[in-house]
């Protein structure tokens, strides 16, 4: 369907549960559409059916502890190695981190070009299968673990200082 239909569907879901709406939208818009629009034919053939059928959850990693809106200020870098890429960096606030299996992440391939040097790569992450089962989320055995990809401790508003009451 078209973009308006998509927005109506997300809007209607959000009326009942905003959290569920962001899960669907992060999976489709953030996690799947970059592969549909910019992925190689091999990435599209391999990953899109898994995502579109809902077999695995996808996500998108742009935000870092030091930069969010300012995408060009992110520090993660990608360096070509052994026919692939090695990413070095750290992301924060990533919807589905720890339960998703396919993440599109931004990384600079050329720091001098700033955000124009950003590259979006699809990277199967190490799933916490026990957690996925508990949440009723699917899993695909055919996705290899990406060495070194690790979800950190889930941040909640209960971390650190006690919650502030707003009247
Ligand atoms: C529920 C939730 C889910 C999220 N999921 C994801 C995800 O899946 N993947 C991901 O990558 N990120 C995710 N994020 C992170 C989100 O994209 C960032 O928090 C957002 O981009 C803002 O970045 P920041 O937190 O660094 O704040 P900042 O960019 O530091 O902004 C702080 C304040 O400054 C203002 N500001 C920033 N730049 C300017 C400017 N140029 N001019 C004027 N004002 C400005 C902002 O409006 C804001 O009020 C999520 C965040 C939330 C809350």
57 within some domain: yes
Which tokens hold the place of 159?
Answer: 């971390």
151 within some domain: no
Question: In whole numbers, what is the pLDDT of the chain averaged over residues?
Answer: 82
Would you say residue 90 has pLDDT above 60? yes
68 within some domain: yes
pLDDT of residue 24: 94
**Ligand 1 contact, 58 CB (< 6 A):** no
Pairwise CA distance, residues 4 & 61, whole Å = 25
How many domains does the structure of the chain reveal?
1
165 within some domain: no
pLDDT confidence tier of residue 160, bands split at 50, 70 and 90:
low
Higher pLDDT, 8 or 67: 8
pTM of the model: 0.85
164 within some domain: no
Q: For residue 57, which phi and psi values (nearest 5 degrees)? A: -90, 140
**Ligand 1 contact, 98 CB (< 6 A):** no
Ligand 1 atom nearest to 106, measured from its CA: 11
Task: Report, as an integer, the average pLDDT of 136-145.
Answer: 78
Pairwise CA distance, residues 92 & 41, whole Å = 29
Q: Which CATH number characterizes residue 72's domain?
A: 2.40.110.10
**Ligand 1 contact, 59 CB (< 6 A):** yes
145 within some domain: no
Task: Judge whether 59 and 95 are in contact, CB under 8 Å.
Answer: yes
Query: At a CB cut-off of 8 Å and minimum separation 6, what does 90 contact?
Result: 64, 65, 76
Would you say residue 162 has pLDDT above 80? no
**Ligand 1 contact, 94 CB (< 6 A):** yes
Ligand 1 atom 45 nearest Cα: 69
C-alpha 69 to ligand 1 mean position (Å): 5
pLDDT of residue 12: 97
DSSP state letter for 101 = S
- State which residues form the domain around 105: 3-135
**Ligand 1 contact, 29 CB (< 6 A):** no
125 within some domain: yes
143 within some domain: no
Ligand 1 atom 43 nearest Cα: 69
pLDDT of residue 85: 83
pLDDT confidence tier of residue 136, bands split at 50, 70 and 90:
confident
């Amino acid at each position: 369907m078209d973009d308006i239909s998509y927005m109506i569907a997300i809007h209607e879901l959000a009326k009942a549960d905003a959290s569920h709406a962001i899960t669907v939208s992060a999976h489709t818009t953030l996690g799947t559409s970059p592969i549909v629009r910019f992925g190689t034919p091999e990435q599209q053939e391999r990953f899109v059916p898994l995502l579109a059928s809902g077999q695995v959850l996808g996500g998108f990693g742009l935000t870092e502890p030091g930069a969010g809106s300012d995408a060009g200020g992110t520090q993660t870098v990608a360096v070509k190695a052994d026919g692939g890429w090695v990413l070095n960096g750290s992301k924060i606030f990533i919807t589905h981190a720890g339960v998703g299996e396919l993440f599109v992440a931004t990384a600079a391939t050329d720091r001098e070009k700033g955000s124009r040097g950003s590259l979006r790569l699809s990277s199967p992450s190490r799933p916490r299968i026990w957690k996925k089962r508990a949440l009723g989320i699917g899993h695909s055995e055919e996705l290899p673990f990406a060495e070194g990809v690790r979800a950190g401790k889930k941040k909640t508003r209960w971390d650190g200082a006690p919650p502030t009451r707003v009247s």
